[in-house]
Amino acid sequence: MTYVISSACVDVMHKSCVQECPVDCIYEGARSLYINPDECVDCGACKLACEAGAIVYETDLPDNEQQHLADNAAFFSATLPGRDRPLGTPGGASALGPVGVDTPLVAALAVMSRDT
């Protein structure tokens, strides 16, 4: 089991969760953050810190966010656009730095308006 970053993070990325993660398993795409399910220790610190309410335990994902469970995992297991191989389990987001691309699901989402 793991925590999942939902669509509420797309085009927001406050990154308060990144600072709270004790195992550095929250990676930065172009428009969203992603939790590596193989590195996550299920502590929940990220969920408590998330200003957007975008982090949910996988069994608590609402029906309309279920696609993000597989999508978060795909960020690490699939070859992303412009990359020559999957990210896999790099062992820490801070050493890797921003990846700069997203999964096809996140990349296809409409750009969120920040006029609030």
- pTM across the whole model: 0.92
Write down the pLDDT at residue 115. Answer: 46
Is residue 55 a contact partner of residue 46, using CB atoms and an 8 Å limit? yes
Which domains does the chain possess? Answer: 3-95 (3.30.70.20)
User: H helices of the chain, where?
Assistant: 16-20, 45-49, 67-77, 93-96, 104-108
Is the dihedral angle over the CA atoms 78, 111, 15, 17 positive or is it negative? negative
pLDDT in tens, 42-98: 999 999 999 999 999 999 999 999 999 999 999 999 999 999 999 999 999 999 999
Q: How confident is the model at residue 112 (pLDDT cuts 50, 70, 90)?
A: low
